[in-house]
Chain A
Amino acid sequence: MSEYQKYYVPDQSKWPIIATFGLGTTLFGAATIMVDGGQGGSTSSGWMIFTVGLLLMAYMIFGWFGSVVRESRAGLHSPQMDRSFRWGMSWFIFSEIMFFAAFFGALFYARVFAVPWLGGEGDRGSSNMLWEGFQATWPLINTPDPSLYPAPKGIIGPWGLPLINTILLVSSSFTITVAHHALKAGSRKKLKLWLGATIVLALAFVGFQAEEYMHAYQELNLTLQSGIYGSTFFMLTGFHGAHVILGTIMLTVMLIRISKGHFSADNHFGFEAAAWYWHFVDVVWLMLFVFVYVI
């Protein structure tokens, strides 16, 4: 048993309870904004609660991750601990996949079942009598009740910005892999260069996505309110975009840590976790590109 290194069990920590107050306050504030706003009231108290929550969360994230980084650099993390982090991150990404699966499921259900049924096809085609004469098409350009859900004038074609974004994200998966190899080979300069390139590609993606949204809202009248097509389009691409932003923040933190001299050729799980997350975001985009834009 001389090989055995003790598993590091941290002593008391204040971060979980701060995180609890932070998350609870943030979400309570968000709900208050939505409910008060929905009733036409003032949302200022909601915004105040929400902001306090966000500040608590930011403080917690810096503090908690900061202490984990310090512990790692102090050599407290045994190889077994490293495996715990690896399992933890893998299963976290699995749960993220299942979150997206719910939205993809909604998209497939709407396309394959709900919309054709409303148009009079299949087992539940009788639901066509609700809005007689409704023609089922996909993309759904005409909603069953346009007074409630005004139809979009058009949709985003796949071969413009989405194709560029696909190229950007796929290349970023390559650049991060090159950066990873550079880290393992110990060439820090190359590492910084390629990681920086990944972040630039990520930011370009986010920028193009914002441009696409503005185009959709301002010119195409394609919004969250324009029926199931707009709902699934914006929720899927929106959640993906949020994940891209989160991933970009992770990569930026890694770049800062690297420029401070963190990580070694054989011990750099923080970097690997960010890279895994980045690949996950990339794969989700490929699914989006195929099922939301192309098909």
Chain B
Amino acid sequence: MSTVADAHTSEHSLGQNHDHHGPAKGWTRWLFTTNHKDIGTMYLIFSFGMFLLGGTMAMVIRAELFQPGLQIVQPEFFNQITTMHGLIMVFGAVMPAFVGLANWMLPLMIGAPDMALPRMNNWSFWLLPCSFLILVSTLFMDGGGPNFGWTFYAPLSTTYGPPSTTYFIFALHIAGASSIMGAINVISTILNMRAPGMTLMKMPLFVWTWLITAFLLLAVMPVLAGVLTMMLMDINFGTSFFDASGGGDPVLFQHIFWFFGHPEVYIMILPAFGAISHIVPAFSRKPLFGHASMVYATCAIALLSFLVWAHHMFTVGIPVAGQLFFMYATLLIAVPTGVKVFNWVATMFRGSMTFEAPMLFAIAFIILFTVGGFSGLMLAIAPADFQYHDTYFVVAHFHYVLVPGAIFGIFASAYFWLPKWTGYMYDETLAKTHFWLSFVGMNLAFFPMHFLGLAGMPRRIPDYALQFADFNMVSSIGAFLFGATQLLFLFIVVKCARGGGEPAAANPWDGAEGLEWTVPSPAPYHTFSTPPEVR
């Protein structure tokens, strides 16, 4: 083995031989780091902060909707807070959380010393605080922040948007650049940094799902950048992409946006699929059922995700042939998704199961994500969607796939890998309390929204007719319970990170398999400087 680290021409004369030293001292460790574990930690902390911020906004929304009539906020502010809640949760909480998990776990799972492009990795992270600083600052600008919903449909966002829309556009451009660079890093790492012997089909599923996710990100984040740029030009430079009086079309906005937006929802769920595919076998003490079919199902979902975007637009007036195509293509996605659910259930079948916190979240994920999938099937049927469109039924649907889907997937992953990250076991009793309160709170908050939507309550409004009052009150109580419970999660994680638990073994779970469990807990600052052999 040749050593290369002693070259003096590098800019980093401050660091000695990088193999043998731990983290740098002081706060510059975090600013200048190139270490995938440091960067993963920063992503996770950032995303949890954003989760609390976006969650606080959700609490304001639910407080306003607790009773009919205007109680707490003005409609203008309600629109801004609804928009911000969506943007922060999608771009600030869920996506960075999965990138954080990827940073921490991918190199450990494939036996790589770090991510492929470590400095760009740090840039990807630091762009996010920058982006969200600009985004949140729009709330304090003249005319307020974005008030057109997280989907920022033209002409609401172009002709009728507040002046701060231009800042919003650039904030999302920065977040997009961060995602693109993050995805380039993930995909290069997976394709190039695997330990000898780890063929593609031997790759763990979290790695597989992230490979597909990174591909989706690279395919659609530039399209988001494109539509944002068209908006920017329409607002500031007089183009007419989304203005029919110049020959453009507001519907064009929706087509381009949802060409990004639909793969985007899979970007937010595929890594969770991967993590669940590790957790379910670990606590069933059985290998995953149908590893190869899981891989193919993930690929199928990703490919189909490019062919279904207009199911978000059935009511805007697209030709009937288009409605039928997008309806059938959407229904087709149920097939690979069903394969996945079947495989998870078959993995548990006759396993010797135990129900630690990661497994509880994983099982809730499987059941409740499936509920969200079923309401998705209802929405996919074009004639029925004419009834459901823009009602609380849609809100219920996507919160069922995002909260017990993406968010529970993240909680499950966090509990599963916390011992590896911190070197200590979390408090199991508190974690189970966190699970049950979240489970009850979340169902209480979102299940009644199905009924509200079917009864015709429109989404994104601060006030409603009297007949919706009871369900809204129940929903708000559930939301407050769910929101408050997340402070318990913060407490559990802080306690665990400060060493307030049993020291964890290298593999604290009986049934967990993979390279990440062969390194000590906590994982040393540098792992796999020499790649392991995979049989």
Contacts and interface: CB of A to CB of B under 8 A. Distances in A.
Interface in A123-160: 123-124, 127, 130-131, 140, 143-145, 148-149
B350 to A, nearest CB: 41
B11 A91 contact: no
B248 A114 contact: yes
A106 B1 contact: no
B361 to A, nearest CB: 32
A70 B33 CA distance: 20
B149 interface: no
Contact of A231 (B28, B166, B241, B255): B241
Contact of B18 (A11, A27, A63, A96): A11
A225 B119 CA distance: 41
B247 A229 contact: yes
Contacts of A15: 119, 123
B116 interface: yes
20 contacts: A8-B5, A9-B34, A9-B113, A9-B114, A9-B526, A10-B34, A17-B126, A23-B174, A70-B11, A74-B10, A76-B10, A88-B117, A99-B222, A102-B222, A131-B245, A144-B245, A148-B245, A228-B240, A228-B248, A231-B241
Contact of B7 (A16, A35, A71): A71
Interface of B: 1-5, 7, 9-12, 14-15, 18-19, 24, 28-29, 31-35, 112-114, 116-120, 122-123, 126-127, 130-131, 133-134, 163-164, 166-167, 169-170, 173-174, 177, 180, 183-185, 187-189, 191-193, 218-223, 225-227, 229-230, 232-233, 235-241, 243-249, 251-252, 255-256, 259, 317-320, 526, 529-531
Chain B CB within 10 Å, residue with most, of A71, A84, A109, A227:
A84
Given A4-B1, A5-B1, A74-B7, A24 B252 contact: no
Contact of A11 (B15, B185, B256): B15
Given A4-B1, A76-B4, A235-B233, A27 B173 contact: yes
A231 B319 contact: no
Nearest to A82: B192
A6 B240 contact: no
A101 B169 CA distance: 19
Interface in A221-255: 223-225, 227-232, 234-235
Contacts of A67: 10-11
A70 B166 CA distance: 39
Contacts of A94: 218-219
B11 A230 contact: no
Contacts, number: 285
Contacts of B218: 91, 94-95, 98
B244 to A, nearest CB: 6
B177 A13 contact: no
A223 to B, nearest CB: 8
A74 B4 CA distance: 9
A35 B240 contact: no
A1 B530 CA distance: 9
A34 B166 contact: yes
B88 to A, nearest CB: 18
Chain A CB within 10 Å, residue with most, of B29, B127, B526:
B127
B236 A38 contact: yes
Contact of B184 (A73, A83, A91, A99): A91
B222 A83 contact: no
A118 interface: yes
A244 B2 CA distance: 41
A181 B247 CA distance: 48
Given A95-B184, A114-B247, A149-B240, 16 more contacts: A6-B3, A6-B5, A7-B114, A14-B32, A27-B174, A34-B235, A35-B163, A76-B4, A80-B193, A94-B218, A95-B180, A95-B218, A96-B222, A98-B223, A103-B226, A118-B244
